[in-house]
Structure 1
């Protein structure tokens, strides 16, 4: 059998694998199998695409012509079975593909609420273009819109929905979400923006959802009942590991992979939200669900398949947008000591330092240049002066030299 790579899933990790292989000069036959067809970007679904300011064609990573020009076949089908021992995959239409190597970039599905009414028909989720289309069609100015989950997606949708004229209720049991991502102070400033923009915030566990006539009644643990015309459930994702598990591949809240993104079956790789690394000491790391980590995983798979040195990636980076501000964070915002930088009296950046003074993490609000400099400081292992970090008059780029 001639070499044939089959990529299952057209998200960022899968697309990046194909793109990087062609950049490496590989002429291996590549097929991307995804029922949604043309691979596209997900972050705009909660923002620009949701509010209609970005047309669907702008979501695509590349126009359709790129795939034919780069000899990448797109198959709009679902893989129903992996047979890695035979080097085959079965598709929903009965077709069988041969594969010398397979990449699973299946992402995840929206997590449901394990409560009475958590599976009611009509509850909204946001993972795909179709979900965003349904959300946009449902949302009308003046309607009562409840969002369960105030993480990145929930917060971004709340911001967009308010702008579109909805009356938004945001429900989460965590008093201040995103503390692990950007530190308590910046997370608090971000969370306070919801009420400042007219969102009604409820800090309580959701206990039950009922559909009474055409309205939803959400019962919270503190006794509050939130009434809504539409409900979005945004409480995280469940990795799509079923194909791998049925094929005998090791899974544990993700497909377990090594440094090359290789699973327990060497011809099967996994990348993106579905993958989980086994660390050097044998323990399992966290799954990473951010855009850049998916891209990096695809680059790693491509390098491994092309026989190239594995890329060295810097500190992990993420971003989010809400209410006209831009959040960025890099590295570890959980451990170490926090140093704050204020601009116009408001906390605008938070840095984390280890015991020796090395920066290990940074987060900023509307501070792209600052976070880029912070990333260089982290990656270079530079020891920084906390007083200079806190001084907003000092350009962080000077500390990165």
Structure 2
């Protein structure tokens, strides 16, 4: 049933918070909406790793909306202000400048902060992370053509950043504890194919566990333990970047007495343990109807979807259906997309015939996941097949002459 949400205060101007604000207006909400964030604007994060060293890299180009567009939607931004206190009972929020705000409904979209390694030297000057605009500005200014850069973590962000750094003329070493990152996300075949692209493009790849960052004679070095703890020669670096995931920003919620467990706990309608407070995006962790705590989702698409769905929940409306998960990555001039899951139970099917293979996972005659390089149409069709639960056969998926779009048409 419809809910009178009243004034809405959104804490966090990332994709989830911005999507929630714009969706509230799209759904006809007329009461005041304010977004509060300690950062300088509301902007898109993926280009931080993908386009950091391009000439037109700027906050204005990354922004989701101009000041005029926000004003047109009657969304009031309060950037450069951090929320420090929250009283769920009254809806009062205290900012770091002493301002007290109050709203009828609070949405926590506080996201996460870059995880730092708990090792010696983690706080040395020259050791960077990449999560915020300020992180990006600092890293961009620290890297020059010829700079020796060690990137610790070869997942999506680390690999994308390594590619961008190489394009900027840096000498790049990429360090990760596993020989092939991303296997659970895209399957072993494609994960290996992607990881093998680094070396031919001049990126040194080191497999091992980072033990410490050290400084000597004005230079940095990364100390790494290789296979079975065997030491590897220290990796010299002018700049070190750590890309090993995020930690959810739950401090405000925890101090306010909300239920927290590696994320702010919400039900399937994004409600926290406080009546007027909702949470969405990277920071939210759903407890399903059967009581199971699900994993947090940290991809761009998940943040956008949760922002739109929480807007409906705030207004007491029916939540839009969720499609299969989807993410993408750009590196070394190629574009990867994946949807659904490519690990766990089921059968992996490989489609050859193009420059790169595509991979699928099927179980019980249904498609559960797909990934491909430079084939957006295939992944888009696969996602629709998953969502519509259209039966498929392994032979059809493996045959490069069978267009997935034809399966959609034939089996409706």
TM-score w.r.t. the length of structure 1 is: 0.97
CA distance in 2, matches of 1:120, 1:101: 41
- 1:114 matched to which residue of 2? 118
- 1:363 matched to which residue of 2? 371
The 5 A counterparts of 1:23-102 are 23-76=26-79, 77-102=81-106
CA distance in 2, matches of 1:21, 1:2: 10
CA distance in 1, matches of 2:368, 2:275: 33
CA displacement, residues 136-165 of structure 1 (integer Å, 9 cap, x when unaligned) = 111111111100000111000000111111
- Give the stretch that moved more between structures: 78-87 or 47-56: 47-56
**Contact persistence 1:10–1:105 (CA under 8 A):** yes
Structure 2 residue 201 is matched with structure 1 residue 197: yes
Structure 2 residue 346 is matched with structure 1 residue 342: no
How many residues get paired? 399
- 1:285 matched to which residue of 2? 294
- Give the stretch that moved more between structures: 44-53 or 55-64: 44-53
Instruction: Tell me how far 1:94 sits from its aligned partner.
Output: 0.6
- 2:309 matched to which residue of 1? 300
Instruction: Tell me how far 1:343 sits from its aligned partner.
Output: 3.0
Two-structure CA RMSD over aligned residues (Å): 1.4
**Contact persistence 1:349–1:363 (CA under 8 A):** yes
**What SS does structure 1 have at the residue aligned with 2:128?**
coil
Choose from 154, 162, 168 the match for 1:150: 154
**Contact persistence 2:267–2:286 (CA under 8 A):** yes
Structure 2 residue 404 is matched with structure 1 residue 396: yes
- Give the stretch that moved more between structures: 236-245 or 385-394: 385-394
Structure 2 residue 181 is matched with structure 1 residue 177: yes
Instruction: Tell me how far 1:2 sits from its aligned partner.
Output: 9.3
- 2:269 matched to which residue of 1? 260
Instruction: Tell me how far 1:122 sits from its aligned partner.
Output: 2.6
Structure 2 residue 145 is matched with structure 1 residue 135: no
**What SS does structure 1 have at the residue aligned with 2:352?**
strand
* Unaligned 5+ runs, structure 2: none
Instruction: Tell me how far 1:271 sits from its aligned partner.
Output: 0.9
- 1:384 matched to which residue of 2? 392
CA distance in 2, matches of 1:353, 1:2: 42
Instruction: Tell me how far 1:266 sits from its aligned partner.
Output: 2.1
Instruction: Tell me how far 1:310 sits from its aligned partner.
Output: 0.6
CA distance in 2, matches of 1:264, 1:213: 53
CA distance in 2, matches of 1:291, 1:17: 14
CA distance in 2, matches of 1:254, 1:52: 37
**Contact persistence 1:37–1:75 (CA under 8 A):** no
CA distance in 2, matches of 1:4, 1:213: 57
- Give the stretch that moved more between structures: 244-253 or 209-218: 209-218
CA distance in 1, matches of 2:314, 2:278: 10
Structure 1 segments (4+ residues) deviating >4 Å: none
TM-score w.r.t. the length of structure 2 is: 0.94
Instruction: Tell me how far 1:382 sits from its aligned partner.
Output: 1.3
Structure 2 residue 322 is matched with structure 1 residue 313: yes
The 5 A counterparts of 1:314-333 are 314-333=323-342
Instruction: Tell me how far 1:246 sits from its aligned partner.
Output: 0.6
**What SS does structure 2 have at the residue aligned with 1:400?**
helix
* Unaligned 5+ runs, structure 1: none
CA distance in 2, matches of 1:307, 1:358: 33
**Contact persistence 1:340–1:347 (CA under 8 A):** no
Instruction: Tell me how far 1:53 sits from its aligned partner.
Output: 4.0
**What SS does structure 1 have at the residue aligned with 2:241?**
strand
- Give the stretch that moved more between structures: 2-11 or 368-377: 2-11
